[in-house]
């Protein structure tokens, strides 16, 4: 009988960590630059991109917590 393991390999955890860091760095960059942008349309786009990267970080953390 095949059972699904809830264990994450060291290699997978390392990759999840990298993905989290990439998204966190992007979130921080766009979150910073949205305050530097004067054009409202560009500011809205930067906010949406920051939100997307934040949600990705939360998703990755959720995968690890399972």
pTM: 0.81
DSSP H helical ranges for 1-66: 10-33, 40-65
Report residue 56 as tokens. Answer: 């990705």
CA distance linking residue 37 with residue 34, whole number of Å: 5
Q: For 12-38, how does the pLDDT look when each residue is reduced to its tens digit (9 = 90+)? A: 889 999 999 999 999 999 999 999 999
Average predicted confidence (pLDDT) for the chain: 90
More confident residue, 1 or 37: 37
């Amino acid at each position: 009988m095949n059972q699904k393991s809830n264990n994450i390999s060291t290699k997978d955890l390392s990759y999840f960590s990298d993905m989290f860091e990439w998204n966190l760095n992007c979130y921080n960059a766009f979150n910073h630059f949205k305050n530097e942008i004067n054009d409202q349309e560009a500011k809205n786009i930067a906010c949406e991109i920051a939100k997307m990267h934040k949600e990705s970080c939360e998703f990755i953390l959720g995968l690890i917590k399972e």
